[in-house]
Amino acid sequence: MQNKPNFKDAQMNVNSLITKDYENIANWTLGQNKPNSNPNKPNLKRAKMNVNSLIIKDYRKKDDFAVRKNKPNSNPISETPKMNANAFSQKDYENETAIRPQKTNPKQTQFQNTTLKACPEPRLRGGRINHKLLLKLILRNTVMKRRNFLKALGVGTVALTVQSRIRASQPSDKKPNIIFVMADDLGYQELGCYGQQKIKTPHIDRLSAEGMRFRQYYTGSAVCAPARCNLMTGKHGGHAYVRNNSEIGGWDSFRGQLPLPAETVTVASLLKQQGYVTGAFGKWGLGEAGSTGDPLNQGFDRFVGYNCQRHAHNLYPKYLQVRSNPYQPSNAGFRKSEKIILEGNTRGLTGKHYAPQVIADEMLKFIRANKEKPFFVYYPTVIPHLALQVPEENLNQYKGKWPETHYKGKSYLPHPTPKACYAAMISFMDRQVGRIMKLLKELSLDDNTVVLFTSDNGTTFLKDQVDYEFFNSVGPLRGLKGSLYEGGIRVPMVVRWPGKIKAGAVSDHLAAHYDALATLADIAGAKAPNDTDGISFVPTLLSRPVQQKKHDYLFWDFAGYGGQLAVRMGKWKGIKRDLRKKPDAPLELYDLENDVSEKNNIAKEYPKVIARIEKIMLEARSRPIKKFQFGRYSNDS
């Protein structure tokens, strides 16, 4: 019917009334103070005014629906209000039939001009209030005397306040939200919490101070696409489908990279099965739009950013790709495939719209739109990957601080102050992390959200653009992006989970990107696939070392940069290089406890260790598609 009461608005307005006028009512009602002497006694006059306003606003035509005895569904008291499932649990209603009304005068049980049935008072049972009955009382006020209504409302409000306090002390039933931030080509020591001295990263440093910092955490590969594959699928390089960057289409077609197969199980698809809304914002690199590797075909409800890694080599692009699951309610109004046109951008050094800013804004909109549901946000930001580009206002933070050598451009766009720009890009990324944390607090999601921050691989080796020696980007580690030495694969990992992770914790637990699937599945209450190479490090996060399973070894199979294999087994690190040209290249061995810089090859001193690592390098590899094959495999004839 047209004049059916607006239960949702009534609930919202009454909640507001309760907050304003009955803040301390629980103490007053429970007899801790006498009503006439308690300064926190509810302001009934003000409540009366607010309720009248509520009645006028939501039930202006009450007479049209309040006194229709014999017409089905015409009496609002006979209809069941639609409650907010997120606000109230089913237990709030299970004892409804046990709540009995007070004895009333039979003569007052018939509808009259201004009188309805006498109002029963909601009673607490186990500290709970019948919210359904409370809303009925609000509706009945349209035709009952205000005095009786306020009396009933006062009792209901007391119960609701008590219940709210009880609930506030209990853990939420909602699954924890998960935000996974992955920087692009960020070195191990380019954050303040990891020892960086020149570049400012206060927000990520705060994550570390309030959570856990890993000192021996690794990416799954030494370049972009395979590292993303390891992360999403939970498989190390010896079993992963993508084992190097592999382009689809011409260089400037921006079609994307080799797609993940259709049958792939990803972090997003696992969490989606657990009721999570899933979004990816940044650089994808695992399949062009419409392919089997499309983010929508790999468990994501929404993607905004660069589908193609080559497209991401400019931060002032003409457009960004958008993919939206049309069946996800928060995507209402979006087409399945569209582009955000960035007017004023020409793929030059500067432009009107800085793509990392646009992507971050869209990511925050997604969080806000899905605040009532558990969500998984995968934020693979394109920063600080080249080209060197940042808005002028951000560049000014570092401009003029250090001597500069103009980069005139070759592999990427030129820049007059490469040091200042690189530092400004990292600080820009840090501010986006700060925006995430601010929004979580604003939406009261902070305590139930796990935030993880890491990088896909080490700092770039293009020294005329990124002076990794000046910034001490990888500290004492050997190697950079593209290398399986420590500087190419050891990356930051910071995790914050309020109430679960001890503030300021530091861990030396050995873990890698392919542990992320098992870990996030564990957090969400999902079961990881049996064929995952990963191990959940949740026990480490919760300071339960006895429960933490450990890897026998970590393994890398990287088809790029000449073909490389590496094994981390306890303190031992074994590595082979240039296997495309030399399938029988010798194994190098390093003791990372005493030689983290991998300077002293001690392979000749430990033949048994060498034999064990050689065996792993055969057994841990499955034969990939042809373009990724190199070296020896266990099934070689």
pLDDT band at 138 (very low <50, low <70, confident <90, very high): low
Do 159 and 181 lie in one domain? The reply is no
The span from the CA of 610 to the CA of 619, in Å, is: 14
Where in the sequence is the domain holding 104, given as residue range(s)? 7-168
Do 78 and 136 lie in one domain? The reply is yes
The span from the CA of 309 to the CA of 382, in Å, is: 9
Q: Which of 168, 201, 216 is the last residue of a domain?
A: 168
Do 141 and 184 lie in one domain? The reply is no
User: In the predicted model, what is the mean pLDDT of the chain?
Assistant: 82
Q: Please write the tens of the pLDDT for every residue from 373-394.
A: 999 999 999 999 999 999 999 9
pLDDT at 337: 80
Q: Which of 525, 558, 591 is the last residue of a domain?
A: 558
Do 435 and 299 lie in one domain? The reply is yes
Give this prediction's pTM.
0.75
Pick the range with the lowest mean pLDDT from 169-173, 423-427, 527-531: 169-173
The span from the CA of 554 to the CA of 218, in Å, is: 9
Do 391 and 522 lie in one domain? The reply is yes
Do 84 and 233 lie in one domain? The reply is no
pLDDT at 140: 56
Q: Looking at beta carbons, which pairs linking 164-170 to residues 24 or more positions away fall under 8 Å?
A: 165/26, 166/127
Given a cut of 70, whether residue 56 has pLDDT beyond it is: no
The span from the CA of 369 to the CA of 433, in Å, is: 18
Using only the alpha carbons of the chain, give its radius of gyration: 30
Given a cut of 80, whether residue 96 has pLDDT beyond it is: no
Given a cut of 90, whether residue 635 has pLDDT beyond it is: no
pLDDT at 91: 36
Do 423 and 452 lie in one domain? The reply is yes
pLDDT at 426: 98
557-579 mean pLDDT: 98
Residue 2 lies in a domain: no
Q: Which residues contact 147 (CB under 8 A, 6 or more apart)?
A: none
pLDDT band at 153 (very low <50, low <70, confident <90, very high): very low
Tokens describing residue 264 = 């792939």
Please indicate whether residue 136 or residue 113 has the higher confidence score (pLDDT): 136
Q: Looking at beta carbons, which pairs linking 120-125 to residues 24 or more positions away fall under 8 Å?
A: 121/152, 121/155, 121/156, 122/152, 122/155, 122/156, 122/159, 123/99, 123/159, 124/159, 124/162, 125/95, 125/98, 125/99
CATH of the domain at 596: 3.30.1120.10
Pick the range with the lowest mean pLDDT from 139-148, 414-423, 509-518: 139-148
Domain count, the chain: 3
Do 500 and 585 lie in one domain? The reply is no
Given a cut of 50, whether residue 124 has pLDDT beyond it is: no
Q: Which of 168, 194, 226 is the last residue of a domain?
A: 168
Given a cut of 70, whether residue 477 has pLDDT beyond it is: yes
The span from the CA of 282 to the CA of 303, in Å, is: 8
Report the SS3 class of residue 93.
coil
Residue 321 lies in a domain: yes
pLDDT at 456: 98
Do 386 and 521 lie in one domain? The reply is yes
Residue 636 lies in a domain: no
Given a cut of 50, whether residue 630 has pLDDT beyond it is: yes
DSSP secondary structure string for all residues of 412-423:
S--BS-HHHHHH
Do 87 and 192 lie in one domain? The reply is no
Residue 342 lies in a domain: yes
Residue 637 lies in a domain: no
Residue 43 lies in a domain: yes
Q: Please write the tens of the pLDDT for every residue from 189-244.
A: 999 999 999 999 999 999 999 999 999 999 999 999 999 999 999 999 999 999 99
DSSP secondary structure string for all residues of 154-202:
HHHHHHHHHHHHHHHTS--SSPPEEEEEEESS--TT-SGGGT-SSS--H
The span from the CA of 139 to the CA of 8, in Å, is: 12
pLDDT band at 154 (very low <50, low <70, confident <90, very high): low
Query: For 122, which DSSP code?
Result: P
CATH of the domain at 268: 3.40.720.10
pLDDT band at 285 (very low <50, low <70, confident <90, very high): very high
Residue 99 lies in a domain: yes
Residue 1 lies in a domain: no
403-420 burial code (b ≥16 CB/10 A, e <16)? ebeebeeeebbebebbbb
Do 461 and 386 lie in one domain? The reply is yes
Pick the range with the lowest mean pLDDT from 154-158, 292-296, 422-426: 154-158
Do 211 and 349 lie in one domain? The reply is yes
Tokens describing residue 206 = 């705060």
